[in-house]
Amino acid sequence: MAKVSIPTPLRQFTEQKDTVEYAGATVGEVLNGLTGQFGGLRQHLFNDEGKLRNFVNIYLNDEDIRYLEKTDTAVSDSDTITIIPSIAGGLN
């Protein structure tokens, strides 16, 4: 099972878990398993068309999946998927 690292702002949707493990052949399958268990998380990761939101960055073992096969990127049991939502803000 791949390990999914949950960032602090999204842990309120995963019962405060910082990591969870899911089986899946691709990043998309793992994320669908995650959002299937934690339904409140889905709207923060995916848009209404079921595509990853532009401001959500997903890494597979430190590689941005946008430069791999996106959600079709293959996953093995020893992999770590990291979710990094973009944070806006700062001084005007």
pLDDT at 87 over 80: no
Phi, psi of 26 (to 5 degrees): -135, 165
| CA nearest to 4, candidates 47, 55, 41, 48 | 41
CATH superfamily of domain region 2-85 = Beta-grasp domain (3.10.20.30)
0.75 surpassed by pTM: yes
Cβ-based neighbour number of residue 82 at 10 Å:
17
Could you state, in order of their start, the residue ranges of all structural domains in the chain?
2-85
- What's the confidence (pLDDT) of residue 92? 56
- What's the confidence (pLDDT) of residue 90? 54
**H/E segment holding residue 48:** none
Of the listed ranges 47-51, 63-67, 87-91, the one predicted with least confidence: 87-91
pLDDT tens string 15-63: 999 999 999 999 999 999 999 999 999 999 999 999 999 899 999 999 9
